[in-house]
Every structure is written in C-alpha cells, then in structure tokens.
Amino acid sequence: MEHVLLLVFLGTAVFMFVESFTFGDRAAAFPRFTAGATIVGATLLLLRSYLPWPLSKLVQDTEGAFEETTSIDEVDAETPVDEPATDAAELPAIRTDEPNVESEIRYVELGPIWMHGALFIGILTVLFVVVSYLIGMLWTAPLFVAGYLAALRRSWYATVGLALLAFGAAYGFVAVLGIGIDSGALVDLGGLLW
C-alpha cells in the first residue's frame, strides 16, 4: 500500500509540476517548488532499497538518520590488522536492509471498521484530491483536517483550531497569490469570500 501511495504522490506531483507552467511566474513558484520536492522525495522513497548506503540511511525509518555516520574505511582503520578477530563480539556489526519485523503497525478505528493506517491515509489523499477538484481546495482543506483529526479522536479544540489554520493557509494562497483554489468544477464558492 505504501508503494501505491508513493506512486499517487509522484503522479500528482509530476502533473502539478507540468501544469504549473500554465500559471504566471509568481503564481507558479510555489506549486513548482512543492511538486519538485515531492518528486525528489517520492522517488527516493520508492528507490530506497537500491540507493547507496549513506543515501539510503537518510530515507529509511531509523533513529539517528542525521547523526554522524562511520564509513567502512574508518571501521577498517580502527580494526587492528595484525590480530584477527576471533570472538563474535569483536566483529563489526553487519548492516542489513531488512525491515524490523517487530515494528508497530497502526490501525485507525472508524466506528465499527478498523483500517490499516496507510490505507486510511491513501483513501483520504485520493478523496482530498477528488473533493478539491469538485468544490475547491480552499473549502476542502479544513474539512479534511477536521475529518482526519476526528478519526484520530483528537480534542475538539485542536480539531477546530487546526481546521481554521488550514483554511487560513489556503485563504492566504487566494488572497496573496491570487490562485483560484476557492472554486471547483461543480461548485463556484469563490463569491462567498468577496
């Protein structure tokens, strides 16, 4: 499911990057930058098992990804050459790329339905894109923030506050950059703002 979600992100980012060339220079800057960062990030995550070790360490779910790393040459330099290691405790640790089988799997409880967390995010992402297209992203953003936080059973004041913050951020794009995300293909709610 993670690969499907990453492919959806990658496809959407490529589409957004290509379509940003139809905007004016000022309005295209943010979508182009966001799409470019999403393309790079999704590609790195999709290809993480094929990346060289220092780069793969940055995109894997491990603690200390940005801590200092030790190269193989440094490990070889620290190992005494004249005395071979005989005890298993003296040997350097072998790095494997196998996922931790004991990792925690998160589920979301939606009333009587239990859903895997990645599936829930994937469905929510697809719904967000479709509903944004239909009624406009300005109105969709606070609805989906509120729905997501309600599904996670967050407090009502955090849900309302973050939904208002999402509306404010989306409204900033309408007011400052003049991007028309206040109306969709079915409904034109842009007149409610002015």
Strands annotated E in 56-165: 107-110, 113-116
CA distance 10 to 188: 28
**Nearest partner of 169 among 133, 135, 144, judged by Cα:** 144
- Among 4-13, 24-33, 82-91, 178-187, the range scoring the smallest mean pLDDT is 82-91
Q: Is the pTM of this model over 0.75?
A: no
Which carries the bigger pLDDT value, residue 51 or residue 143?
Answer: 143
Q: For residue 171, how many other CB atoms are within 10 A of its CB?
A: 16
| DSSP 3-state of 114 | strand
* Mean pLDDT for the stretch of residues 129-134: 91
> Radius of gyration over alpha carbons of the chain, in Å?
23
Beta bridge partners of 107: 116
Taking the CA atoms of 80, 83, 89 and 91 in sequence, report the sign of the dihedral they define. Answer: positive
% the chain with pLDDT above 70: 73
Between 79 and 121, the more confident residue is 121
Residue type, 162: L
The number of beta carbons lying within 10 Å of the beta carbon of residue 181 is: 18
pLDDT of residue 10: 92
SS3 of residue 98 by DSSP = coil
What are the angstrom distances between the C-alpha of 116 and each of 45, 46, 108? 20, 20, 6
Q: Can you give the residue ranges of every domain in the chain? A: 1-82, 104-194
Between 17 and 65, where is the model more confident?
Answer: 17
Mean pLDDT across 79-89 = 52
Q: Does position 70 have pLDDT exceeding 60, yes or no?
A: no
Q: Which residues of 107-131 are buried (b: 16+ CB within 10 A; e: fewer)?
A: ebeeeeeeeeeeebbbeeeeebeeb
- Model pLDDT, residue 156: 92
